[in-house]
Structure 1
């Protein structure tokens, strides 16, 4: 074209070609000029490209793809959030970038990287290289150098060839390249083999957490599926509705992508339900349920976790990390506070302490660390160490393999760990330390669920934690635990073992607290019969059992039977233990209380007066039992209308308890509450309100806002406001109390019913009859209005 244009221009210039239009010669010359300029530009670009190619080396890329790029997973589940994060971390075109994708085995790191690699190929990248770096990157980098045809690499050792290809990738240029190091198990093996300049993008998939703190590396952490992603995947892969059982299976699998894929493949292959698969997992038939999918690139959850466990032996020759992991796999899947691990460190039997073992496990992505380093309330370390549910399942599976000594040792260690933690737990602070109690209960539930036959020590922990839950008012969780403990002790120790009888007594007491009096009485009657047969009729344990049955009869309104049992118990105690033995004094107090309930006030007062004199003589005037006796006598005086005597005793009690126990001891607060009740009965409402307001503030600070005694204190202040005609204040407190009772104790707990009745009574006094009637109808059948005061 250029030659023709020059010839035409020459002919026009020499007159060999004549044209009539005057504009034609200028147009031809202008077109020639544009054509010449275009040719010059094209030649310049071509020469620059040739020079650039010369700078980069005489490489002829035979293929744009190197390495075994993983195939897209079966029923691929998009993860838009992570995919967007990877794109943003790798940055814009023409800039080098180094991005790590850390996460647990089976979280989908390789699939996420492979998806990005395929998108790069779709965008026309010049090179996408996939390096399997599990055993180190050198062999495959050397093969990449040969694939690219780098000069001289055929004669080089692999290390030199690998370094050469990294230098080539790091040279400046506009080529678009992606280098993926897949499954890096040791960050140090990449040293010297990662291009730090040029335009190459580098992705690293790893289960090592060290990459998260390494300089120059952007991190996109790859976690589990969200519940929405997981249920969507299960529904698509199995063709079954994933609501209900599917979601529960997802939770059981911890939403691990690989675990869900293996579960879906098994369900699809066998046609079983989600629930049936979950039961198979519980049987730990893992060789079948978690085996590698046919044709899949990933070895599967079981094999992958086994590889991680094998790596622990190399990373920690002491075995501390493996021992700790076996214990952690028995505890709650929500994790264990590192502070609790440190408290129980001696029981764990670790050579180098908790933190080095936790650090080793975290580096291998066998545990995760979450939470905060310090909590405001106590200053403890509140970081949580958690093992993924499937990882824990495989760990237990491996530990249970014959001879199974590892699993038995781990269960024993877990029981000793709980024993140390419950031994340190202050019962008086059960509401203030509710988070810690809830965690201990969760760990106990987990250990029991992984134990075919709980040891006597583990059953002791179960009984103790159930008692703490009852103390906190959480009967919903306490009752099943008491029942499980009793069943375990009957099975392990026998029906008549002393610990079994103690368990039956504790369960009966919890039934009484829950208002299930028939069940409580049946257990107490059974217990008394067993004690009389095993320990004889006059043994102290038999007397205690008879006293407890009498208390249950009293609560059920069977006062004649209660009085008969208390009279018999008192007579035997006086004969066997002596008239001034503490157990005899307790027995006399219980008979007096039952007389009081039966309206036999003269007899009740006479026994309380005798008891108080004996307590002062035997135990002293300031002994806690003496103070309780004085309080009970004051209560009897109040019931008899002898208010001045009652107030005098209660004021003396409060002063003694403040001096002996301190102003904020729970018994001191109970004394203040009882004195306020006496003031209210005497019409001294201002004094009563002042004491109750002080008490409520102290209860909230000392025991916490949700402790049963705090709720009782608020109820009593509300009732006194009502008596004083301050109905708005009374109603506000009763409404708050009812909401707290429903949340803490449940809607059907006896104290919740009483609280609802008391709010209804306040509504009635305020003329809000429709609201009062609605609450009473909701409560039927239930207890009537009551002042929920403690007598200590």
Structure 2
């Protein structure tokens, strides 16, 4: 079985967190020393050392009775808890920091903005869209009330706009989400640059919105642009680049631009592990912890390839649970279910395999229609399962559908048509329908012969 990339992120709506701003620390050298050490530790994701440094800074602030310093150090600790997915602890700390920052006024305003945005991000990560909207709107209102504020130049506003757009997309307020993305993109272009990855993320998110609205023509140029930025900045093998390429492939397929889809697929095949991936490509929404999902899907794939089916099942079930947070139409869920179906099939647990494949197929059909390439792959796997179970009457229409669609989409002499015919011939052979098997096998061989001669 060909497998998913280690990390797929096709139409991913990234939660953008405001970075640490260059605050002034007056003459308090010890406080600045600890804060700087914490920031350095964060750069390498050393959360333990960062927490220790920020905690020492907090002690200095408490001794000085400095509300601003105290709020700032607590906010940084809260940020670590957020990164660690310790949401309850993070929420408490952010709210305590926010209260202190509001008391400090003046310099505390910067921390107020950070904490409001972080709380909005926290609630968004938990799919608590009502609370997320409340806090993100406060950030936007504060900055809109003073457009000349230098804090705007620290990217608070486009960050909040992007995050609120994610909220609106998940609550089906597509017009409002589109308006926010269109407002955020020029800000990112001005503040970060037209070829910065933050700009690419905002462009990618707007493209994702258009895709979910089935506005494929509008999505296409945006995915092309975000892919170009990311490839130039991050290199062709970066997960975000592979994800972006997968997104563009899906749009090309929806627009029936087969040659363009194949060109992108071939270009990034080597970067994607040299696999054409028999699992569905992944197009995603918000609400899912992408890192957590990627960790489980990768582990499940590795166990499956090593024939450790019990371990693969455990990891993929965890990936399903994470993917379900994205909603019933999230393609991460379809992709994960597809892989889990393979595990059950390998274990000869046919009932679970059938149920799981069907669930994956239903999601893919709803998003892309019954002629999409990923749908056909899932359909083929289900048909092969039926064949193994000797449910030939259920396998036959699936195999025939794949053959018919492939012929219309690719032409009667394409190698994928031959492969689909061979699958049908094999099913007929096992069912004892020798003449039909021989007929399709003969047709497949003729196609293969033409293909070989053409080469």
SS in 1 for 2:145: helix
Task: Report the CA distance between 1:463 and its aligned residue.
Answer: 2.5
CA contact (8 A) 2:75 2:111 kept: no
Task: Report the CA distance between 1:564 and its aligned residue.
Answer: 2.3
2:233 is matched with: 623
Task: Report the CA distance between 1:522 and its aligned residue.
Answer: 1.0
1:679 is matched with: 277
RMSD, aligned CA: 5.1
Alignment equivalent of 2:222, drawn from 607, 610, 613: 607
1:647 is matched with: 265
TM-score, normalization: structure 1?
A: 0.31
Query: 1:434 & 1:584 partners in 2: Cα distance?
Result: 28
Pair 1:546–1:622, CA change in 2 (3 A):
closer
Query: For 1:27-73, what per-residue CA distance to the aligned partner results, in whole angstroms no more than 9, with x for missing partners?
Result: xxxxxxxxxxxxxxxxxxxxxxxxxxxxxxxxxxxxxxxxxxxxxxx
Query: 1:426 & 1:679 partners in 2: Cα distance?
Result: 35
1:567 is matched with: 182
CA contact (8 A) 1:634 1:645 kept: no
In our comparison, the structure showing a higher alpha carbon Rg is 1
SS in 2 for 1:681: coil
CA contact (8 A) 1:463 1:481 kept: yes
Higher relative contact order (CA 8 A, sep 6+): 2
Answer yes or no: is 1:595 the counterpart of 2:210.
Answer: yes
Query: For 1:257-277, what per-residue CA distance to the aligned partner results, in whole angstroms no more than 9, with x for missing partners?
Result: xxxxxxxxxxxxxxxxxxxxx
Task: Report the CA distance between 1:588 and its aligned residue.
Answer: 2.9
Alignment equivalent of 1:461, drawn from 73, 83, 92: 73
Query: 2:57 & 2:351 partners in 1: Cα distance?
Result: 46
SS in 1 for 2:214: coil
Query: 1:587 & 1:708 partners in 2: Cα distance?
Result: 17
Answer yes or no: is 1:522 the counterpart of 2:138.
Answer: no
Answer yes or no: is 1:532 the counterpart of 2:130.
Answer: no
Alignment equivalent of 1:728, drawn from 275, 296, 310: 310
CA contact (8 A) 1:553 1:561 kept: yes
Task: Report the CA distance between 1:716 and its aligned residue.
Answer: 3.9
1:421 is matched with: 37
Query: For 1:227-271, what per-residue CA distance to the aligned partner results, in whole angstroms no more than 9, with x for missing partners?
Result: xxxxxxxxxxxxxxxxxxxxxxxxxxxxxxxxxxxxxxxxxxxxx
Query: 2:139 & 2:106 partners in 1: Cα distance?
Result: 13
CA contact (8 A) 2:119 2:132 kept: yes
2:440 is matched with: none
Pair 1:623–1:483, CA change in 2 (3 A):
same
- The structure that is strand-richer by fraction is 1
2:358 is matched with: none
SS in 2 for 1:604: helix
Answer yes or no: is 1:471 the counterpart of 2:83.
Answer: yes
Task: Report the CA distance between 1:590 and its aligned residue.
Answer: 3.0
2:167 is matched with: 552
Alignment equivalent of 1:498, drawn from 106, 110, 113: 110
CA contact (8 A) 1:579 1:585 kept: no
2:408 is matched with: none
CA contact (8 A) 2:38 2:49 kept: no
Q: Which runs of 5+ in 1 are unaligned?
A: 1-408, 655-670, 684-706, 742-748, 773-792
Query: 1:415 & 1:536 partners in 2: Cα distance?
Result: 30
Query: 2:317 & 2:195 partners in 1: Cα distance?
Result: 46
Task: Report the CA distance between 1:499 and its aligned residue.
Answer: 3.2
CA contact (8 A) 2:74 2:94 kept: yes
Query: 1:517 & 1:608 partners in 2: Cα distance?
Result: 26
2:372 is matched with: none
Task: Report the CA distance between 1:599 and its aligned residue.
Answer: 3.1
Pair 1:585–1:682, CA change in 2 (3 A):
closer
Trace 1:265-344 onto structure 2 (pairs within 5 A): none
CA contact (8 A) 1:566 1:587 kept: yes
TM-score, normalization: structure 2?
A: 0.50
Query: 1:718 & 1:580 partners in 2: Cα distance?
Result: 38
Query: 2:251 & 2:304 partners in 1: Cα distance?
Result: 21
Q: Which runs of 5+ in 2 are unaligned?
A: 1-26, 282-288, 356-455
Pair 1:484–1:517, CA change in 2 (3 A):
same
Task: Report the CA distance between 1:438 and its aligned residue.
Answer: 5.7
Query: 2:62 & 2:298 partners in 1: Cα distance?
Result: 45
2:123 is matched with: 511
1:709 is matched with: 291
Query: 2:60 & 2:51 partners in 1: Cα distance?
Result: 15
CA contact (8 A) 2:226 2:244 kept: no
Alignment equivalent of 1:488, drawn from 97, 100, 111: 100
Pair 1:515–1:440, CA change in 2 (3 A):
farther
Trace 1:342-353 onto structure 2 (pairs within 5 A): none
Query: For 1:364-414, what per-residue CA distance to the aligned partner results, in whole angstroms no more than 9, with x for missing partners?
Result: xxxxxxxxxxxxxxxxxxxxxxxxxxxxxxxxxxxxxxxxxxxxx9xx677
